[in-house]
Amino acid sequence: MVMTPTTEEVWAWLGEVPDPEIPVISLTDLGIIRAVAWEGDTLAVTVTPTYSGCPATSLINFEIERALRAHGVEKIALKRQISPPWTTDWLTEEGRAKLEAYGIAPPQPAGGPDKCPHCGSTELERISQFGSTPCKAQWRCKDCLEPFDYFKCI
């Protein structure tokens, strides 16, 4: 007899799937997995992309399916939910800490980083509104002179 995994187990598995653009955080850290539920014998996973034109959406869906199939889930329904739209408020505290440890300043309500993720200095300057991905901006620390990405508030 095949045991149906609990939704808690599924959440834990999805917590191990890295974001393809920022692999230091998981899809659950990012807050894009909105719901996990069994609908009969089908596992429904609701995903909200970070923005409607996110180029990683197909890869994210593939990685979700791959992770679940690796744990024996055969019937999967991926649901795309665009309302309400994703916001950086959905990042977990653990995800924010992982970003900073990786050298990416996590989003701040004031619209810019509050400190350098490398040395902790507050002497910062914006280099460009656009970073390595559309959701990031490029900043530099005036003390350690290191550039870093800032995850923009969305």
At residue 2 the predicted structure's pLDDT band, cuts being 50, 70 and 90, is: low
At residue 131 the predicted structure's pLDDT band, cuts being 50, 70 and 90, is: confident
> Which CATH entry fits the domain spanning 7-88: 3.30.300.130, 3.40.309.10, 3.30.2310.20, 3.40.640.10?
3.30.300.130
Instruction: Give the domain ranges of the chain.
Output: 7-88, 103-151
Give 50-104 pLDDT, tens digit per residue.
887 888 899 999 999 999 999 999 999 999 999 999 999 999 999 999 999 999 9
Instruction: Judge whether 36 and 86 are in contact, CB under 8 Å.
Output: no
Distance CA 11, CA 114 (A): 31
Distance CA 106, CA 134 (A): 15
7-14 vs 57-70: helix axis angle to the nearest 10? Answer: 130
- pTM assigned to the model: 0.86
| Token digits of residue 97 | 């800490």
Average pLDDT over residues 13-38: 96
At residue 153 the predicted structure's pLDDT band, cuts being 50, 70 and 90, is: confident
